[in-house]
Amino acid sequence: MTNLLDLHHVSKTYTRGLINAKATVALQEISLTLKQEDPTILTVAGESGSGKTTLAMLLLGFITPTTGQIIYRGKDITALQGEERMAFRREVQAVFQDPFAVFNPFYTVDHLLSVPIKRFKLATNAKAARAKMDEALTAVGLRPEDVLGRYPHQLSGGQRQRINVARALLLKPRLLIADEPVSMVDASLRASILETLRNLQRDHGVSIIYITHDLTTAYHIANAIIVLYRGGVMEAGDVDQVIKSPQHPYTRLLVDSIPWPALDRRWGTDMIKAREAGSSSVGCPFRSRCPMAMEQCKTQPPLYKINKTQAAACYLHAGHPEIAAERLTELLPVRTQIEA
Ligand code: ADP
Ligand code: MG
């Protein structure tokens, strides 16, 4: 079966200014695969500026890669036209950080939900359209009578974000790109919205790329994780494995920077230096902050396969076999393990 999604060595460089053009490498050599037959939740984690939103924009086809290819169900997304392009627009949906972003304050929820129904001709009459809305709202844990007919300001942040998810769900997507979907939602509502996303994967077979700076939520929702730093993959693997036993100094920093009631361990990351600006773009991107940095780190480390479900791009693991970036996703588990 063709894969749902293949990224082949995708890089994105932004250039600003015409005279003194300044280039920012936002993503470097990202390869990954999602299979159609195994809907999964893959987390892409990293601090602000690590290239997460750039990846989301690329996956949605809003921007194009500087080098590399993004293949959706066997076709390069930059070459999609006509019906194929329409199918891509329907099947790949997004939920963004700001639950207000897609709302026009002058339109009711009904209007917001009816736009995609009309655009993609999902219903032939008003009754069928209403049935679709009810179905999508119910799937995200909302009661249609509580939200239909209301204006955005009459809804809570949590309700708005659920409506965003419902709007994506209406289109029966195969892939949902969720870029920090709960970072602007009250902490008390986060868990239930994440639960909703997990149900979409489990009950509706939607694959989800969950983008976050917050490893706690990744741990609760995802099967697999890719850790980015300045656009490069630092570590990847099974989410439990990576979070409980991080192997890259950067992942250790991330894991240690948040309180973990369930995990009683420390790595002594106080040694990790503050982020330095303007360091060189060759070699390991993390080396200027890394307490373990060695001479070798001036050249880009390959990914080392540390165990069956984990790899890290760090010379500390040089004894392990190397794994090609495009084979990284072979390490990633696909089934949801449900945990409390
Ligand atoms: P994240 O979502 O992880 O915070 P982004 O993908 O937004 O990261 O940004 C990655 C890097 O690319 C950052 O250094 C950011 O400043 C830069 N960047 C993002 N968008 C643009 C743009 N449109 N033009 C120039 N640089 C950009
Ligand atoms: Mg972002």
Task: Provide the pLDDT for residue 310.
Answer: 95
Q: Which of 13, 53, 59, 226 to mutate to test the pocket of ligand 1 (most atoms within 8 A of CB)?
A: 53
Is the CB–ligand 1 distance for residue 62 below 6 Å? no
- 326 — pLDDT class (breaks 50, 70, 90): confident
Is 0.85 surpassed by the pTM of this model? yes
Alpha carbon of 295 to ligand 2 centroid (Å): 32
Rounded mean pLDDT of the chain?
87
CA distance 242 to 320: 16
For the beta sheet containing 175-179, the strands, ordered from the edge strand earlier in sequence to the opposite edge, are 92-95, 175-179, 207-212, 41-45, 224-229, 232-238, 310-312, 303-307, 322-323
State which of 190-204, 222-236, 246-260 shows the largest mean pLDDT. Answer: 222-236
Task: Provide the pLDDT for residue 173.
Answer: 94
DSSP letter for each residue of 217-251:
HHHHH-SEEEEEETTEEEEEEEHHHHHHS--SHHH
CA distance 230 to 28: 8
Query: Which range has the worst mean pLDDT, 98-112, 285-299, 316-330?
Result: 98-112
Whether pLDDT at 16 is above 70? yes
Alpha carbon of 288 to ligand 1 centroid (Å): 20
Task: Provide the pLDDT for residue 268.
Answer: 44
Task: Provide the pLDDT for residue 267.
Answer: 43
* Residue 96: DSSP 8-state: -
Task: Provide the pLDDT for residue 260.
Answer: 54
Neighbours of ion ligand 2 (CB under 5 A): 52-53
- 280 — pLDDT class (breaks 50, 70, 90): low
Note the maximum CA span of the chain: 68
pLDDT tens-digit map of 228-252 = 999 999 999 999 999 999 999 999 9
Q: What's at 286, amino acid-wise?
A: F
CA distance 88 to 61: 9
Task: Provide the pLDDT for residue 190.
Answer: 85
DSSP β-bridge partners for residue 14: 24
Query: Which range has the worst mean pLDDT, 17-21, 54-58, 220-224?
Result: 17-21
How far does Cα 158 stand from its chain's mean position? 20
48-58 burial string, b = 16+ CB within 10 Å, else e? Answer: ebbbbbbbbbb
Is the CB–ligand 1 distance for residue 237 below 6 Å? no
Task: Provide the pLDDT for residue 37.
Answer: 87
pLDDT tens-digit map of 122-157 = 999 999 999 999 999 998 889 999 999 999 889 988
Task: Provide the pLDDT for residue 266.
Answer: 45
Task: Provide the pLDDT for residue 20.
Answer: 72
Q: Which of 10, 18, 24, 214 to mutate to test the pocket of ligand 1 (most atoms within 8 A of CB)?
A: 24
More confident residue, 260 or 114: 114
Q: What's at 175, amino acid-wise?
A: L
Q: Whose CA is nearest to atom 23 of ligand 1?
A: 14
Is the CB–ligand 1 distance for residue 183 below 6 Å? no
Alpha carbon of 21 to ligand 2 centroid (Å): 23
How many degrees, rounded to 5, is the angle at CA 176 between CA 171 and CA 178?
A: 130
3-state class (DSSP) for residue 100: coil
Task: Provide the pLDDT for residue 163.
Answer: 92
Query: Which range has the worst mean pLDDT, 93-102, 124-133, 281-290?
Result: 93-102
Task: Provide the pLDDT for residue 98.
Answer: 75
